[in-house]
Amino acid sequence: MTTALFLLPAVLLFSVFVLYPMLTAFSYSFFSWQGTTRAGWAWFANFTTLFTEAPFKTDLPRALGHNLLLFAGAMVFQNTIGLTIASFLYRRKRFKKLFQTLYTLPYLVSPLVIGYLWSLLLSPLFGPINELLRLVGLDSLAQPWLGQPSTALWAIVLVTAWQWLGFPILLYGAALGGIPEELNEAASLDGASGWQRFRTITLPLLTSSIGIVTILTFIGAMEALALPYAMGGSSGSPAGATDVLSLIFYRTAFESGATNGIGLSSALATLLFLFIFGIAMVFTTMIRRKERTLS
């Protein structure tokens, strides 16, 4: 009874602010709408429209590819640079907390603020990054990073990975601290090199942490809205090069002026939830299976 009373506030908050909106959006996706007025039962017509009619049938696959690229870019940074920094800080205790705080600060700042700040830094007119390139004689590399399709998305990928870098550093640092030192000492006495100890001892024991980082990064990348909005606008400029699924949802619901905007945006939100949930469950199953082989 005591446990139920402690859980009751969390259950109520989750039900009101998460579960109820999700179920409402799911129900809205099966109706047609005239502005904000429900017009009638539409069955799966809204879902069919997303796959068969313009601009959705071209914009959605492109935006999905951009979301997946955000995920891949963040994972590359987190599982290479993030793990390297975490290992370095773990071995060197001096100034460890200072550097952990510095690396974590961008993760704690709103993505909207981060996006606007980097838009100023990358400005072709007064941005310090282009100015620095000119000062060191690399004028040919100074360019409108967010103004051309060939570089705009990559700029957002790098900024996204940079902002999220602090989380895996903290998580991997904690996981490294939980690995018994006796295992590395025994392997060292057996003649194992540093790389061999990392590959056969440290990396397998980080499976759970890598799994958590992977799942949370995937969810964050698929839900990305604030950073692409701040750096590319609601239209995914330039020429849709920075468009993501959440921006399409935002435009459909609030900017398109479509008569059935509520139904279409709700259908898109439902599909996005099912996709994220399904892939997250696949990742979870794979990670648990890997953990069982190590136990």
Q: Is the pLDDT of residue 119 over 90?
A: yes
Domains of the chain, start order: 46-294 (1.10.3720.10)
Please say whether the beta carbons of 166 and 81 come within 8 A.
no
- 33 sits in which H/E element: strand 31-34
Question: Rounded to whole angstroms, how far apart are CA atoms 241 and 237?
Answer: 6
DSSP string, 82-109: IHHHHHHHHH--TTHHHHHHHHHHHHHS
Q: Give the pLDDT band of residue 88 (cuts 50, 70, 90).
A: confident
The model carries a pTM of 0.91
pLDDT per residue over 251-271, tens digit each?
999 887 778 889 999 999 999
Mean pLDDT of 213-240: 93
Judged by average pLDDT, the poorest of 25-29, 99-103, 134-138, 173-177 is 99-103
Question: Rounded to whole angstroms, how far apart are CA atoms 18 and 20?
Answer: 6
Mean pLDDT of 49-73: 94
